[in-house]
């Protein structure tokens, strides 16, 4: 009982930290969101916001790289998604100009709205026209050298502990059409720090540990290989989650204490 109370107190402290950071940085967010030429600087402030608001409540991010990443090139970054902290983590991870693609509701969010009306790309997956427009915009950004961050599960699993859900096809077709490498990113323990929004199970201080896998090249592929590419990226992430003994896809469960491997 006391543990849950402390976790609930912690998550509300985190919410306050995020809100306070947003208010302090809002003039910078607003100014740098007014023009696409300023989006790179906007992302720098967003990275700072994610770092400071998390660190204020004792949440930190660790990244283990399978190989060094050349951030001078654009990528499609595909992480698994179990926590709102994944968003801050991806802002911190990507060292170049970038944008998120996310559900259309984020366009009306109190905090997310400013970003999804400017630098980021909202999409209504129930509308073929909306999806077409969103991926057309994403294609334009990638061709301009802007990396795209997209959670291929399309959202956070309703199950607790979370399950790795089947991936959507969109980012993999896009990667093949534009010959853009995909970077799979695995997070095996972020949900233990803060699951989803944190309002149900609370949160706690700790290190969110991410494995940044080597880029999966797509230059040799055709659109007929989109499903195979999707499955390849899924297995890369799923295999890492299995090593961490977390719940994986299609109802299979791996229980026990989270393993730590290497620097992860």
Please state the pTM of the whole predicted model.
Answer: 0.89
Averaged pLDDT, 129-147: 95
Percent of the chain's residues with pLDDT above 70: 92
DSSP 166: P
12's CB contacts (< 8 A; 6+ apart) are: none
**Is residue 259 predicted with pLDDT exceeding 50?**
no
Average pLDDT value over all residues in the chain: 91
| Whole-number Å distance between alpha carbons of 205 and 60 | 8
Contact between 241 and 164 under an 8 Å Cβ cutoff? The reply is yes
Q: How far apart are CA 113 and CA 105, in angstroms?
A: 9
Neighbouring residues of 36: CB distance < 8 A, sequence distance ≥ 6: 119
Q: In the predicted model, is pLDDT for residue 244 greater than 50?
A: yes
What's the confidence (pLDDT) of residue 157? 87
User: What digits encode the pLDDT tens for the residues 149-183?
Assistant: 999 999 998 889 888 999 999 999 999 999 999 99
> Are 59 and 87 spatial neighbours (Cβ–Cβ below 8 Å)?
no
8 A C-beta contact, residue 213 and residue 185: yes
| CA 182 remoteness from chain centre | 13
Q: Specify the residue for token string 């989006």.
A: 39
pLDDT of residue 245: 53
190 band by pLDDT with thresholds 50, 70 and 90: very high
Nearest to 185 by CA among 96, 260, 93: 93
The bridge status of strand 147-150 relative to strand 206-212 is unpaired
């Amino acid at each position: 009982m006391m543990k849950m109370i402390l976790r609930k107190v912690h998550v509300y402290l985190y919410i306050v930290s995020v809100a306070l950071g947003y208010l302090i940085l809002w003039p910078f967010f607003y100014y740098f969101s007014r023009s696409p030429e300023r989006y790179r600087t906007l992302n720098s402030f967003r990275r700072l916001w994610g770092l400071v608001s998390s660190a204020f409540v004792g949440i930190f991010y660790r990244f283990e790289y399978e190989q060094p990443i050349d951030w001078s090139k654009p990528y499609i970054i595909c992480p698994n998604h179990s926590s709102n902290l994944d968003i801050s983590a991806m802002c911190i991870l990507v060292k170049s100009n970038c944008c998120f693609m996310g559900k259309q509701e984020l366009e009306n969010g109190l905090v997310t709205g400013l970003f999804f009306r400017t630098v980021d790309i909202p999409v209504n997956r129930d509308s073929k026209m909306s999806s077409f427009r969103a991926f057309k915009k994403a294609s334009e950004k990638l061709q301009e050298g802007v990396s795209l961050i997209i959670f291929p599960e399309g959202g956070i699993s309703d199950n607790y502990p979370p399950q790795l859900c089947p991936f959507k096809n969109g980012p993999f077709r896009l990667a093949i059409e534009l010959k853009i490498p995909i970077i799979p990113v695995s997070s095996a323990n972020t949900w233990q720090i803060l699951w989803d929004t944190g309002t149900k199970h609370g949160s706690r201080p700790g290190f969110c540990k991410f494995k940044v896998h080597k880029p999966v090249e797509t230059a040799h592929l055709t659109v007929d290989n989109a499903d195979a590419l999707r499955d390849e990226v899924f297995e890369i992430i799923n295999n890492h989650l299995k090593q961490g003994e977390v719940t994986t896809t299609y109802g299979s469960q791996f229980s026990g204490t989270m393993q730590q491997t290497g620097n992860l």
